[in-house]
Chain A
Amino acid sequence: MEALTWTGALTWLNPILGLSAAIMVVAYAAQNVVSLVPRAGSRSIGVDVASADQGLAGLFGNAGRYAFQTSIFLILIYVLAGIVFGPAAGIIGAISRQLLPVWLALAVTFVVSVIFKRKLGLYGKLFDSTVGMIGFALVMFWVFTGIFGGVFDMLVTHDSLSQVSGMKNKLPGTPLARAEVTDYPWFLLGGDNLARDVFSRLIKGSWVVIQIAPMATIFAFMVGITLGLPAGYYGGKLDVLLSFLANLILAFPVILIFYLLVTPEIVLTGLPSYMAIVLFIFPLVFVAVLLNSRYYTQPSVRTPVLIVVLGLFGWLYLSMISNDGALVKTSTYSIPGLPTFLDLFDIGPGLLVVFVAVVFVNAPTVFRIVRGLALDIKTRDYVAAAQTRGEGPWYIMLWEILPNARGPLIVDFCLRIGYTTILLGTLGFFGLGLESESPDWGTTINAGRRLLSLYPHAAIAPALALLSLVLGLNLLADGLREESLRD
């Protein structure tokens, strides 16, 4: 077996891609420079956007746009050729074939969404903005990679934990030493410091991130909304108290909180379990109040709905906070929780403390945003109308104010998932929380940075992965903001 090059049989395409990318950069840069020079007509009002297509600047702009389209087209060729030729098209080709299920899922998602985009509300409008689509594609790429790789165990080429002798710190594309017939014959992105496959760890790591970051953000939003709405709506002493507490947490440097909370010693005291008990009850409270305030005038509907929903959420809540049949377990005492046979899933203490810490750090910011929105919206006429109708305060908060605050909240939700991803990476970077062989990107970057100047591939791969996911989330948020402002 020979070592793979990056592009294999498609190497002749590289200069063309390089050329078109260079033309794109130069043309766009030239357009920007030229547009700084005032022209006749540039002082007329309201035509600035249209005038970008005229004159020298417009010429450069068009050149740039064609070069951009060519580059995208060439990149698509790399991916498609990779699917057809596999490893013959180099590392990129092999990775591309390995990721075939992801490409299919992405294509299906996009085709279906674009066809039905007029019926899909805000989500459909996303497909009107290029930036939003690029962001969405990046995010969904990692979501599908995480699901296919993490849940179904597809995509990965080797076990993400097993060490293969002779593969320590090997470069990308190195053939596997002493490969069996059943083994995948290459380490596509090289081997790390402990001779594990970087590519497989990258895929497995995406699942850790895709699992934790959105969930933690949802919990932070539940906490922030449930506390922020009454703080903004009632104001007064409640607001003063809650705002003080939120500012208290915000005044902590994030890393100090992590270093204080996410240590094995703190896990021993059972403190994360107590925090989990408090923080995780907020979704339950939120759903209960949401349904009750809507249906309390029709007890025949409300009571069965509440019993079913609360039963389900209560079960999930108890499964989430109990571990081995105990809510809190320390060396000296333990509080019994849900019996093991009823426990749906277990979250290990290391993961739980990471989760709690991330929710704890994010919740105050969400609280402040929701409080500000509630303060603004409660002066609107429709709120006054609801008050005159005699609606209860929680109905007004959850069914009048909250739906009207959804635009900024959805945008912030996307941004916050990205920020949570960054926080998870920070935890991993300092070696806190998750165990050291965990494939998540932060921990991998931390493991790879010691040999950074000699073997950078082990740290660069997860770094670029994290960068692309967070960038995708930011672009998605930007697209959503643009589209929601349009109407």
Chain B
Amino acid sequence: MGVFILRRLGVILLTALCLTFIVFWLTNLYPNLEKLAKTQGNFRMSDEAVTSYLGNRGYLEPTPVKFGQWLGVVPGWVTETQDGKVFGRCFQDGTPVAERPKFCGILQGDWGYSTVFREDVGPTVIKRLGLTGKLMFFVLLLMVPSALIVGVLAGMREGTRLDRSLSTFSIATTATPEYVSGVIFIAVLASSKFGISPVLAEWGWIDSKTLFLGSATSAMKDATFWNFFLPVLTISLYGMGYIARMTRASMTEVMTAQFIRTARLKGVKFSNIVLKHALRNALIAPFTVIMLQIPWLLNGVVIVETLFNYKGFGWLLVQAASNNDIELLLAVSVVSVVVVLATQLISDIGYVLLNPRIRIT
């Protein structure tokens, strides 16, 4: 097991390195750099001005060297302008020579500087991650139990009306991407002119103008049911159908197993069969699915945070990518890649621990 985890960690490291290099390479293509220079400097820069702007800031060195600088294994660039100013990747103009660090990359704990937000990348990412963590917590809290309940109820008696209704429901949720369900929810539940909110307000059932709030900006400070439920529901609904279907498949398989038949023949109550015999075995597969679903939730997070204007990690990704904020984008992709690979690792380990029939040699 230890060797297995070590080897998987090695693969994760290699994958993360490859992926960040690809992101690095794509963001450092010349047209992207030109756009960066023009948005940071001014839009009417001549070609020479763009070149000198980029050259002074170390953008025109070969990509492997720049990548090494970002990693912190190659000394950072140092520029000496004609008027005698000396500045570099690792220090500002006016820093005494003795205090100038040579290396500054992620190995030294320096994640760089965001050109969009004009602050250090590290704290920015952590702040946004915290907000998204809050969103994800509530999403998992809503999604996992409801998906498991739907799946178990559907799979407990295959082919019945209950199974068919719940299966259709899960197919419908997997067919509704977040930007569709979000739009429908806002129009029906959170519009003061359409849907059910005006009716409810007229009857005096709700105090505010709308049943839910169509923007989650205020939920960043304090989340309430009123301003936070719609984004959480939108993300959970799309992921829920898939988990429910997997749970159902696993449950139907277990319900046809020999030991369930034996339990029935012994005269055990149906509810006891489901809760005590079947459920424990049926929940092994969904665990893997739930873990592997988390990276998919990331997509939903980006869409929903954009739609509901919730300034978390997904919103940060959009900002970084649309402004070609290289170091911020790299940090964002490192985080998301680590999330993807870590959840894979956890799901593998968890599968082995939960299922005694699997042994890793």
Which residues does A use to contact B, with CB under 8 Å?
Answer: 28, 31-32, 35-36, 38, 42-43, 45, 48-49, 52, 57, 61, 64, 131, 244, 247-248, 250-256, 259-261, 263, 265-266, 268-269, 271, 418, 422, 425-426, 429-430, 442, 445, 448-449, 452-454, 456, 459-460, 463-464, 466-467, 470-471, 473-475, 478
Contacts and interface: CB of A to CB of B under 8 A. Distances in A.
Interface stretch (B59-67, B85-93, B315-323): B315-323
B191 interface: yes
Given A425-B180, A453-B214, A470 B18 contact: no
A453 B187 contact: yes
B270 A452 contact: no
Contacts of A254: 299
B190 interface: yes
Contacts of B183: 445, 448-449, 452, 456, 459-460, 463
B45 interface: no
**At the interface, is chain B mostly helix, strand, loop or mixed?**
helix
A265 B175 contact: no
Q: Which 3 interchain pairs have the tightest Cβ spacing?
A: A259-B321, A456-B187, A265-B31
Interface residues of B, number: 67
B23 interface: yes
B78 interface: no
Contacts of A459: 183, 187
A414 B306 CA distance: 29
Contacts, number: 171
Interface in B270-301: 270-271, 295, 298-299
Contacts of A268: 31
Interface string B195-232: 10000000000000010001000000000000000000
Interface string B318-355: 10011010000000110011001100000000000000
A294 to B, nearest CB: 37
Interface centre among B26, B184, B195 (most CB of A within 10 A): B26
A250 B32 CA distance: 24
Given A452-B214, A453-B214, A467 B171 contact: no
B193 interface: yes
B19 A265 contact: no
Contacts of B303: 255, 426, 429
A265 B162 CA distance: 52
A265 B324 contact: yes
B179 interface: yes
A255 B160 contact: no
Contact of A460 (B19, B27, B30, B184): B184
Given A49-B160, A425-B180, A251 B19 contact: yes
A266 B270 contact: no
Contact of A445 (B158, B160, B180, B214): B180
Given A426-B177, A460-B183, A248 B15 contact: yes
A327 to B, nearest CB: 19
B161 A422 contact: no
A452 B295 contact: no
B337 A251 contact: yes
Given A265-B324, A445-B180, A467-B176, A453 B29 contact: no
B172 A471 contact: yes
Contacts of B23: 256, 260
B128 interface: no
A22 to B, nearest CB: 16
A254 B297 CA distance: 11
Contacts of B180: 425, 445, 463-464, 466-467
